[in-house]
Amino acid sequence: MKKIILIIIYSIFWKNFLKIFIGLKYVNEKTLKNKKQFILIANHNSHMDTMAIMSAIPSRYIHKVHPIAARDFFGGSLFKKILMRYLVNATLIKRDREDPENDPIDSMDKMLKKSRSLILFPEGSRGIPGVMANFKKGLGYLIQRNPEIKVIPVYLDNVYKTLPRGKNLILPYNCSIKFGDPIQFKSMEMEDILLSSEKAMENLKK
């Protein structure tokens, strides 16, 4: 049921809306085709980012892909929670790591162990357009615990212009979403992981 809803929303509605009306171009989205499980990391400037990425995911396993969202921002009311749960397929996590019972890394790790895929915005929150903030360490911990899962960089070029921060009117703008090849990590050191993923992102930007 959830799968059908997600396919209608993303693979049919958003995909065509973004392609025809907004002018979004999908570059190399075939790279996702034969991969069962992955972590997508993307730059984050607008709420359209999640929609753009979700619309590019093959409909066969769209119900197994979860964007990660902050509970303090998106889980404010019950209505919002249900919306996020069923229409975005999102997993809500706490941003602070004070409560050891509810460590965000643990909950993401659990999703991966259940053979789910994740969409992460390792910059943390919507940053300044065009400027890549340093990646958060959470990505590193997650990869250290699941070294076999492929990490695919996604670069959203100008997608934020269709819905900039603080605006609520979606307007067309010729933009593109670029998928890279899975990142090869030199070692499982925290620094190496963050550095090579940031580098993969910079390479996609060109």
Partner 1 sequence: MNKIFNSINLIPEIQWVIAIILGILVFATILFWFWNRIKPSKLVDEMQLRTRSWWIMCIIFLFASIVHPVVTYLALGFLSFLTLREVYSLLNLREVDRSVLFFCYLSIPIQYYFAFKGYYTLFLIFIPVFMFIIVPFLLVLTGETKDIIRSMCILPTSLMLGVFGISHLALLINFPEMNSNGVSGKALLLFLIFITEANDIMQFVWGKIFGKHKILPRVSPNKTWEGFIGGVISTTIIGCLMGFLTPLNTWQLIIISGSMAVFGFMGDAIMSAVKRDFGVKDMSNAIPGHGGVLDRVDSLSTTASPFFHLIYLILITS
Task: State the residues that interact with partner 1 by CB under 8 A.
Answer: 23, 158, 161, 164, 167, 169, 171-175
Of the pair 1, 169, the CB lying nearest partner 1 is at 169
Of the pair 74, 173, the CB lying nearest partner 1 is at 173
Report how far residue 124's alpha carbon sits from residue 206's, in angstroms, rounded to the nearest whole number: 22
Of the pair 16, 134, the CB lying nearest partner 1 is at 16
Report how far residue 163's alpha carbon sits from residue 175's, in angstroms, rounded to the nearest whole number: 12
Q: Pinpoint the alpha helices (H) of the chain.
A: 2-6, 15-16, 48-56, 71-74, 78-87, 104-113, 137-145, 190-205
* Least spacing, CB of residue 8 vs partner 1, in Å: 23
Q: Are 22 and 176 in contact (CB under 8 A)?
A: no
* Least spacing, CB of residue 176 vs partner 1, in Å: 10
* Least spacing, CB of residue 22 vs partner 1, in Å: 9
Of the pair 127, 164, the CB lying nearest partner 1 is at 164
The phi and psi torsions of 53 (rounded to 5 degrees) equal: -70, -45
* Least spacing, CB of residue 172 vs partner 1, in Å: 5
What are the structure tokens assigned to 35, written together? 């991969």
